[in-house]
């Protein structure tokens, strides 16, 4: 029985993870559910899933949950950031699903890695921010990190076992790999007239053609910043050079990514666009369990198509690829700027097309000294957020 902590339990990945656990109750037990402020959702999850612990990072939310949870529920309610690090590191925990959205996921995810836990990594922003530090921590503790992000999970499944066992340090060239083909749908605005983008609303941006996801990642898909973050995520997980990584637009999201080998072979992982597949794969690796996802019906799929990315339509993608080439300081700045600009867009304080402008200005203007510690990363993240907020206030 694997004892699990779900970071981001009230979110979209949290729900898919709980659904996979529900399909396999004999193999997994929920030690702790973690969220920030969503008391209604956490209350419902506690009643349904009866975790040993429910952790609300926000202290007021924890207090409210304590008041609302029946006294005999058997669920202990905890709060606090340091307490969360202790929770994921506890000897009671085998596996941590890292699915908090954004930079807020960095510290608990890293704490789980440092404690040598099996980490199922959905929170791409933590790797984008901490890159080499994350990979070094993994190596030092022996933590097994498995990629939940559908593309990285597909790449992982399409690589040989020797590479799967050496995540972060693998030698793609040595394994005969010529390219990783990172697929992306192009989001809801793939074919919208370019001059309509500036008036797109949060509701339109969050209406992804294939996936049901949280609001931040949905906007990132619409700008293709999601693919940019994934490009950086792939760089770290698979130890790639820029030449080894290509982005391919595949509007149907049926192929979840591919690996092209020296001999001309291309291996891919396909499936219906449902995160329960990569989640189940990570939870049971190297075995296979029932995810609850319908088998892919090729007759219903019909056509699969592919396009080159258009950087005029998707400037955030080129910003991310350039930042990745520049180094970790640039990717930390870009991630922080993007979290602020996307949040402002979602609050109707910024036009859709201003997201890329704010991100680019931050990359050009925030001074970047070299990052050698977690404190440096957090300081650069904080400095960028402040600068991005100042820029937005002037618009
Ligand atoms: N959704 C998807 O299909 C995919 C998501 N991912 C990645 O997974 C992560 C989660 O995405 P998704 O599930 O869509 O996001 P959601 O917005 O649906 O959920 C976010 C979760 O994070 C929690 N959270 C937010 N801020 C904090 C904080 N400060 N402290 C603790 N918990 C916090 C939320 O809690 P509360 O509800 O209390 O605010 C919620 O549980 C992201 O990094 C995303 O990029 C990757 C691939 C696919
Ligand atoms: C499900 C998943 O992994 C998302 O990251 C997905 O990739 C988003 O779709 P896009 O390909 O449009 O970014
Ligand atoms: Mn993805």
Q: Same domain, yes or no, for 267 and 333? A: no
245-249/177-184 β-pairing: parallel
Q: Same domain, yes or no, for 267 and 360? A: no
Rg, C-alpha atoms of the chain: 20
Domain end position, chosen among 126, 143, 160? 143
The per-residue pLDDT for 204 is 98
- Note whether 102 and 208 are within 8 A (CB): no
Q: Which atom of ligand 2 is nearest to the CA of 224?
A: 13
Residue 148 within any structural domain of the chain: no
Residue 316 within any structural domain of the chain: no
> Could you tell me which residues are annotated as the binding site for Mn(2+)?
149, 151, 230
Residue 189 within any structural domain of the chain: yes
Residue 342 within any structural domain of the chain: yes
Quote the tokens at residue 22.
Answer: 């529900």
Residues 201-215 pLDDT 10s: 999 999 999 999 999
Residue 114 within any structural domain of the chain: yes
Q: Same domain, yes or no, for 119 and 8? A: yes
Q: Same domain, yes or no, for 177 and 125? A: no
Distance from C-alpha of 200 to C-alpha of 345, rounded to nearest angstrom = 10
Residue 163 within any structural domain of the chain: no
User: What beta strand segments (E) does the chain contain?
Assistant: 2-7, 28-35, 53-56, 76-79, 95-98, 118-121, 145-147, 177-184, 245-249, 255-261, 266-270
Q: Which residue has the least CA distance to atom 15 on ligand 1?
A: 214
In the reported structure, the alpha carbon of residue 272 is separated from the centroid of ligand 1 by a whole-number distance in angstroms of 21
Q: Same domain, yes or no, for 8 and 94? A: yes
SS (H, E, C) 332-360: HHHHHHHHHHHHHHHCCCCCCCHHHHHHH
* Number of domains into which the chain is organized: 3
The per-residue pLDDT for 395 is 86
- Note whether 370 and 379 are within 8 A (CB): no
Q: What is the pTM of this model?
A: 0.98
> What residue ranges of the chain have pLDDT lower than 70?
none
The per-residue pLDDT for 383 is 97
The per-residue pLDDT for 273 is 98
Residue 218 within any structural domain of the chain: yes
Distance from C-alpha of 58 to C-alpha of 279, rounded to nearest angstrom = 27
Q: Same domain, yes or no, for 334 and 207? A: no
Ligand 1 pocket member 8 (CB < 6 A): yes
Q: Same domain, yes or no, for 135 and 174? A: no
Residue 232 within any structural domain of the chain: yes
Given ligand 2 and candidates 152, 221, 254, 313, which is best to mutate, with the most ligand atoms within 8 Å of its CB?
221
Q: Same domain, yes or no, for 86 and 191? A: no
Distance from C-alpha of 54 to C-alpha of 385, rounded to nearest angstrom = 30
Q: Same domain, yes or no, for 130 and 218? A: no
In the reported structure, the alpha carbon of residue 94 is separated from the centroid of ligand 2 by a whole-number distance in angstroms of 27
Quote the tokens at residue 56.
Answer: 């609300």
Q: Same domain, yes or no, for 188 and 124? A: no
Q: Which atom of ligand 1 is nearest to the CA of 213?
A: 1
Q: Same domain, yes or no, for 128 and 20? A: yes
Q: What is the CATH number of the domain that holds 47?
A: 3.40.50.720
The pocket of ion ligand 3, defined by CB under 5 A, consists of 149-151
3-state DSSP assignment of residue 138 = helix
The per-residue pLDDT for 287 is 97
Q: Same domain, yes or no, for 44 and 109? A: yes
> Looking at the DSSP assignment, which residues form a beta bridge with residue 2?
28
Domain containing residue 228:
169-272+294-301
Query: Which of 127, 97, 117 has its CA nearest to residue 279?
Result: 97
Q: Which residue has the least CA distance to atom 1 on ligand 2?
A: 150
Ligand 1 pocket member 64 (CB < 6 A): no
């Amino acid at each position: 029985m694997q004892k699990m902590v779900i970071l981001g339990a009230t979110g979209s990945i949290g729900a898919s993870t709980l659904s996979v656990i529900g399909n396999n109750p004999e193999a997994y037990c929920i030690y702790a559910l973690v969220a920030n402020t969503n008391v209604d959702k956490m209350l419902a999850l506690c009643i349904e899933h009866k975790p040993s612990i429910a952790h609300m990072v926000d202290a007021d939310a924890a207090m409210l949950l304590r008041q609302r949870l029946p006294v005999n529920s058997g669920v202990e309610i905890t709060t606090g950031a340091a307490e969360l690090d202790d929770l994921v590191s506890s000897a009671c925990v085998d596996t941590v699903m890292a699915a908090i959205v954004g930079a807020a996921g960095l510290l608990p995810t890293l704490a789980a890695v440092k404690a040598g836990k099996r980490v199922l990594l959905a929170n791409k922003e933590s790797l984008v921010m901490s890159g080499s530090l994350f990979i070094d921590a993994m190596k030092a503790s022996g933590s097994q990190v498995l990629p939940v992000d559908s593309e990285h999970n597909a790449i992982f499944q399409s690589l040989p076992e020797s590479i799967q066992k050496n995540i972060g340090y693998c030698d793609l060239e040595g394994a005969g790999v010529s390219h990783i083909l990172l697929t992306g749908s192009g989001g809801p605005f793939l074919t919208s007239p370019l001059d309509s983008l500036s008036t797109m609303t949060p509701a339109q941006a969050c209406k992804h053609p294939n996936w049901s996801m949280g609001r931040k990642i949905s906007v990132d898909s619409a700008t293709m910043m999601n693919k940019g973050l994934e490009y950086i995520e792939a760089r770290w997980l698979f130890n790639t050079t820029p030449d080894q990584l290509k982005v391919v637009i595949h509007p149907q999201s049926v192929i979840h990514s591919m690996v092209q080998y020296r001999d001309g072979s291309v291996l891919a992982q396909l499936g219906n666009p449902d995160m329960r597949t990569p989640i189940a794969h990570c939870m049971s690796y190297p075995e296979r369990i029932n995810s609850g996802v319908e088998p892919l019906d090729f007759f219903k799929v019909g056509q699969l198509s592919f396009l080159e990315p258009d950087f005029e339509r998707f400037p955030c993608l080129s910003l991310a690829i350039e930042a990745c080439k520049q180094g970790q300081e640039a990717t930390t700045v870009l991630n922080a700027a993007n979290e602020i600009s996307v949040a402002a867009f979602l609050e109707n304080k910024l036009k859709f097309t201003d997201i890329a402008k704010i991100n680019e200005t931050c990359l050009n203007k925030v001074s970047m000294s070299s990052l050698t510690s977690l404190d440096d990363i957090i300081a650069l993240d904080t400095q960028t957020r402040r600068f991005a907020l100042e820029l937005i206030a002037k618009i």
